[in-house]
Amino acid sequence: MKKMTSFLLTLLFFWNIIITIQYYLFTTQKENQVTYTPSSTIQQASVEISSNVTELVKKSENKVVTVTSSLHGQSVGTGSGAIYRLDNDTVYIITNYHVIADGNETSIIFANQKESEAEIVGKDQLTDLALLKTKIDFEVEAFTIGDSSLTQKGEYVIAMGSPLGIEYQGSVSGGLISGLNRRMEMDIDDDGISDWDMNVLQTDAAINPGNSGGPLINQAGELIGINSMKIADTTVEGFGFAIPINEVIPIITQLEKEGKVIRPILGVSVQSIYQLSNFEKTYFGLTDEEGLFVVNVSQGSPAQKAGIQTGDLLVSIDGVTLTDFKQFRQILYSHKVNDKIHIVYKRDGKQVEKEITLA
């Protein structure tokens, strides 16, 4: 009996030790646990993001307009425009010629959605530029005109306007100046022959239909170009073009003053030798690979006064050999009315030199 009692007491002693150890481990583990208590309110972080570009857009967006052209009440063209100058309540706006070319009525929609009828001050198909004006009874701002000759390849620029129409008014795209002094061939009369080379800035900023006539601006917020065109091809991306503002301003100044661009006149209609058939070359006795064939001479023109006749071959102007009509036009239009030019032409194989005063 004593042995049994002694065994039970020993067992009870060890049992107490085990219970004590388990209790110690349990309390220690509970003290080391991290308790998560959900908050009754959840606060969402709010950060206002601002940068030089966003500030630039805010300062520029009310200087950009949407231009719509209508013919007998039907919309025939939509583009963009840049506010060029303010004269009290009159606003002058630059846009592209092709935006307003097909209509007889033009209206302006400003950034505040107010609409106003516009008058075409002047337009020039050759440079694809037009100047509009309208009266308003609210405040807007005009762009500061930049100097496009200072533009550098790799410079970040912003294009603004209404791509695809009024629904996307105020759209902004950004990119780099990809190239300077690019030459884009223009076929003005749609005869398949290039009539003019336009000097443009190339950018990879997105320029789409409706952006035409809108501003291309630099990081100082200055107007450095007028968005004009893009290369639309499934194999090409990021090829947009803008007319440099240094070439825009002389045209716009003439449009504002004269209603048109006044260019010098020589008074001849010419055709490139390579455009003539072999029969025509033989008939007129033309063997030269370079030069322009005189198709017609205007009555009383500087050319007629200088003795130039139909059938003559224009060889050069001011020492520059003539190769095609586009080049001839650009050389001619680089001069002003009453400028004197030195011209060389051929007749019956004999070379003649003349100094001509342009009209």
Whole-number Cα distances in Å, 143 to 53, 59, 189, 216: 16, 10, 33, 11
**Nearest to 162, CA basis, from 119, 232, 209, 201:** 209
Q: List the chain pLDDT tens, one digit each, 359 residues.
A: 545 555 555 555 555 555 555 555 555 554 444 444 444 444 444 444 446 888 888 899 999 999 999 998 888 888 999 999 999 999 999 999 999 998 899 999 999 999 999 999 999 999 999 999 999 999 999 999 999 999 999 999 999 988 777 777 878 888 999 988 888 777 666 666 666 778 899 998 888 777 889 999 999 999 999 998 755 555 556 678 899 999 999 999 999 999 999 999 999 998 887 777 777 777 777 765 678 989 899 999 999 999 999 989 999 999 999 988 888 888 998 899 999 999 999 888 888 999 999 99
Say what the pLDDT of residue 164 is.
74
Q: What stretches of the chain show up as alpha helix (H) in DSSP? A: 2-32, 52-60, 97-100, 245-258, 278-283, 302-305, 325-333
The DSSP string of 183-242 is: EEEE-TTSSSS--EEEEEEEE-S---TT-TT-EEE-TTSEEEEEEEEE---TT--S-EEE
Which residues make beta-bridge pairs with 65?
A: 81
Q: Degrees (nearest 5) of the Cα angle 139, 141, 144?
A: 165
pLDDT in tens, 131-144: 999 999 999 999 99
Structure tokens at 261: 């661009």
Say what the pLDDT of residue 7 is.
53
Cα dihedral angle (104, 110, 113, 116), rounded to 10 degrees? -40
Say what the pLDDT of residue 300 is.
92
Distance CA 173, CA 152 (A): 19
Give 40's contacts (C-beta < 8 A, 6+ positions apart).
Answer: none
Say what the pLDDT of residue 9 is.
52
Whole-number Cα distances in Å, 117 to 45, 67, 227, 326: 46, 10, 23, 37
pTM: 0.78
Distance CA 241, CA 284 (A): 42
pLDDT in tens, 228-281: 875 555 555 667 889 999 999 999 999 999 999 999 999 999 888 777 777 777
pLDDT in tens, 31-56: 444 444 444 444 444 444 446 888 88
By the 8 A CB rule, do 62 and 114 touch? no
Say what the pLDDT of residue 49 is.
44
Residues recognised as catalytic: 98, 128, 212
Structure tokens at 150: 């200072």
Say what the pLDDT of residue 19 is.
57
Structure tokens at 322: 């003539």
